[in-house]
Structure formats: C-alpha cells, structure tokens
C-alpha cells in the first residue's frame, strides 16, 4: 500500500536494520515520523506539500536553528530499538524528554551479556578531566583486568542463575548483576530533544561508550532529516557559544569596517588582559581551546552494509539467557 506520509529514501534504506554498537549492543531505526519538510510546514503552519525549493527549506531550517525557534523540529520523531550496557543506559536515561520502554528484569530472564572495553580504550584516569580517561592503553594491566572482570561476571551470573533456578523472584535475582550487563529498550524522541542528546553525547567529551551510540543515532538522523542535521552540525556541534567576556576579547582584536572585518593592528591580549574582562583561568583555558583548532566535525555517515539482521541479535540475546528458562 502506498503512503501519503512524507518519507525519506535514505531513511527508508536503513529502517529496521540493526547496527552493531560496542561488543553486544545495537541501534535500530524502528520507525520515524516526518522529515525536513515537516519542520518547514509546521514553522509556516502551511497547507500540504507545496512546490518549495530545497534551497528555501534549507534557508528556513537554518534560520530556525540559529534563532532557537525549536518547536517546529518537535514535529519530527525517531523510534529506536537499542541495546546497551546498564552504565550507558544510566547516562542515556537522564535525557527525560523522550519516551522509553525498557525490558523488565522483574518479568523476563535477562541475558548474561557483559560489556568488555577493548584494549585500546583501557586507559588511566585523566589528570585534567576528572570525568574521563586519557593516555596510552594500559596494555600490561589489561590481561589481569579481563581475568578479574570474568571472575566477577561469572560469579554474578552464577548467582543469578542459582536464584532463578530455585524460583526466587526475578526482581530479586537480578540485584547483583553488574553495570556492564546489557539491557535494551525502545526509545522515542523528537528532533529537538534528540539534538540536545546528541550535542552532549556525540561530543568528544562524552564517555566513549555512549558516544558510540550517539554517533550511530546521528547517522540515522542525518538520513531522516538531512537539512536539520546539517544546520545542527554547523551551529551546534561544530559551532560554539561565546560569553560576554569572550566576545569582548574578540572585539578588541578585530573590528567591522562596512561589510568587512579587519584585524586591529598591533593588538594582542595576554592572559592578564583576558582576566580584566572577567574571564577566570578556566574560562581562559576554554577560550583558547575554542580558538586554537577548528573542531573536526564527523560526517556520521552510516554504511548499511554493516547492518546485521534483527534475528542475529535476538539469537545472541536468547543464547545468553540462563538455561533454567528453557526447561
Ligand atoms: C558531561 C556531563 C556530565 C554529567 N554528569 C552528571 C552527573 O554527575 N550526575 C547526574 O545526575 N547527571 C549528570 N549529567 C546529566 C545532565 O545533568 C543532564 O541531566 C543531561 O545532560 C540531560 O540534559 P537535560 O536535563 O537538559 O535533558 P532532558 O531531560 O531531555 O530535558 C530536556 C529539556 O527539558 C527541560 N526539562 C526537563 N525536565 C525538566 C524539569 N524537571 N524542570 C525543568 N525543565 C526541565 C530542560 O529545558 C531540559 O534542558 C551529565 C551530563 C553531561 C553531558
């Protein structure tokens, strides 16, 4: 049956395909509603699909995003099926402006699948960023860490299996499963809130594991609403906000002459000058980072050829469920 709903061929191509993330996780675009045209249509509150040129739609969408007129973008929605370790889910679920339904550990037996970081990502606590990791891979420690992870997970899995095999309630049996255990959910979110999610979770400062998911979702979004995606990448992901003090610092270095911008001859701002503009040492550090290098904005392109069938993931999940359920 033909549909009169707006669809996007690039999104149709990946719809219901399952893209692998981390060692046992995935993201699948189950469904979507709307595209760039719906953002435009809502903004203009217009009747039906007219003969607007792509360039006009693009111009409007970029204007809306620059000026934070965000409600039109709420007219587009994505529905995803995702599997992720619980510690990733915990960061993810902080984004409250979405609808989700997670697998119930009270009702279902959970697959005993645990996330193991790859050797290259096994790094030490960062000295500069208290929330992150940095430096070379801790290769010498990695083997021991794997052994210890395996011990803990085997014990937790055996305890889970023992409890459910004695018919202890599943809601109790699960309580010692580690944060590395995979969970899964359906997640539905509109474009406005998804942009916020991606801004913080696809950012290089986000934890590597949730970022892996955000990158795939960004690639899906790019196929659903490419013009909105482009505007977001230009103004938010690859752009930055400037504080009053930061803007003042730039104004001391350059000036507007008619339609041109020119450098003020001989101007230089030392750190002490920046401090007089009210910038703290940390703000100065952040300003330097903003100005030093243009951030590399990934293209987030997805390769549908890397997708695997839903059944493959379903089988892997099923195989990892404790045997007691299969008596
Ligand atoms: C680098 C980083 C570190 C973080 N560290 C921590 C941490 O240590 N501990 C922690 O708990 N969280 C942490 N978070 C989560 C963070 O505080 C936010 O909860 C998360 O980024 C979601 O943002 P949000 O609340 O704007 O999004 P959503 O929950 O999706 O909300 C979207 C928008 O809706 C509005 N909104 C939603 N709910 C309310 C409300 N109740 N009242 C008013 N307005 C509302 C706000 O405008 C909000 O921006 C961290 C996030 C990042 C990116």
Catalytic, 5? Answer no
3-state secondary structure 10-62: HHHHHCCCEEEECCCEEEEEEEEECCHHHHHHHHHCCCCCCCCCHHHHHHHHH
Question: What does the alpha-carbon distance between residue 218 and residue 216 come to, in Å, rounded to a whole number?
Answer: 5
Q: What are the tens digits of pLDDT across the range 15-60?
A: 999 999 999 999 999 999 999 999 999 999 877 666 677 788 999 9
Helix axes 208-224, 191-201, angle to 10 degrees: 140
pLDDT digits over 83-140, tens only? 999 999 999 999 999 999 999 999 999 999 999 999 999 989 888 777 888 888 889 9
- pTM to 2 decimals? 0.92
In the chain, the DSSP E strands lie at 18-21, 25-33, 77-85, 99-102, 124-125, 133-134, 182-190, 254-257, 260-263
41, 153, 174, 201: which one is catalytic? 201
Q: Is the distance from the beta carbon of residue 243 to the nearest atom of ligand 1 less than 6 Å?
A: no
pLDDT tens-digit readout, 202-236: 988 899 999 999 999 999 999 999 999 999 999 99
Q: From the CB of 93, is ligand 1 less than 6 Å away?
A: no
8 pLDDT tier (thresholds 50, 70, 90): very high
| CB of 200 closer than 6 angstroms to any ligand 1 atom | yes
Nearest CA to ligand 1 atom 49: 196
Is pLDDT of 325 > 60?
A: no
Longest dimension (CA), the chain: 82
Nearest CA to ligand 1 atom 17: 94
- Residue 78 CA to residue 16 CA, distance in Å, equals 12
């Amino acid at each position: 049956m033909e549909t009169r709903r707006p669809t996007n061929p690039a999104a149709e191509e990946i719809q219901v395909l399952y893209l692998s993330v981390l060692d046992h996780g995935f993201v699948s675009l189950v469904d979507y509603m709307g595209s760039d045209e719906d953002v435009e249509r809502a903004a203009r509150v217009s009747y039906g699909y007219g003969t607007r040129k792509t360039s006009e739609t693009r111009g409007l969408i970029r204007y809306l995003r620059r000026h934070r007129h965000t409600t039109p973008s709420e007219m587009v929605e994505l529905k995803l099926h995702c599997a992720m370790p619980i510690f990733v889910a915990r960061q993810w679920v902080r984004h409250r402006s979405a609808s989700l339904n997670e697998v119930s550990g009270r009702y279902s037996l959970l697959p005993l699948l645990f996330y193991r970081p790859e050797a290259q990502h096994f790094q030490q606590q960062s000295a500069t960023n208290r929330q992150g990791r940095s430096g070379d891979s801790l290769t010498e420690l990695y083997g021991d860490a794997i052994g210890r992870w395996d011990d803990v997970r085997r014990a937790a899995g055996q305890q889970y299996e023992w409890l459910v095999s004695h018919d202890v309630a599943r809601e109790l049996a699960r309580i010692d499963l580690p944060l590395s255990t995979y969970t899964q959910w359906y997640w539905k979110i509109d474009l406005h809130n998804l942009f916020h999610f991606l801004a913080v979770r696809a950012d290089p400062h986000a934890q590597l594991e949730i970022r892996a998911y955000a990158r795939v979702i960004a690639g899906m979004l790019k196929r659903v609403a490419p013009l909105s995606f482009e505007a977001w990448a230009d103004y938010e992901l690859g752009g930055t906000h400037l504080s009053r003090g930061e803007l003042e610092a730039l104004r001391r270095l350059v000036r507007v002459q008619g339609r041109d911008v020119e450098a003020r001859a001989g101007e230089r701002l030392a750190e002490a000058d920046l401090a007089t503009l009210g910038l703290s040492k940390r703000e100065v550090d952040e300003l330097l980072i903003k100005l030093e290098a243009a951030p590399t904005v990934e293209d987030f392109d997805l390769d549908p050829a890397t997708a695997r069938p839903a059944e493959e993931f379903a089988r892997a999940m099923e195989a990892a469920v404790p045997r007691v359920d299969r008596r």
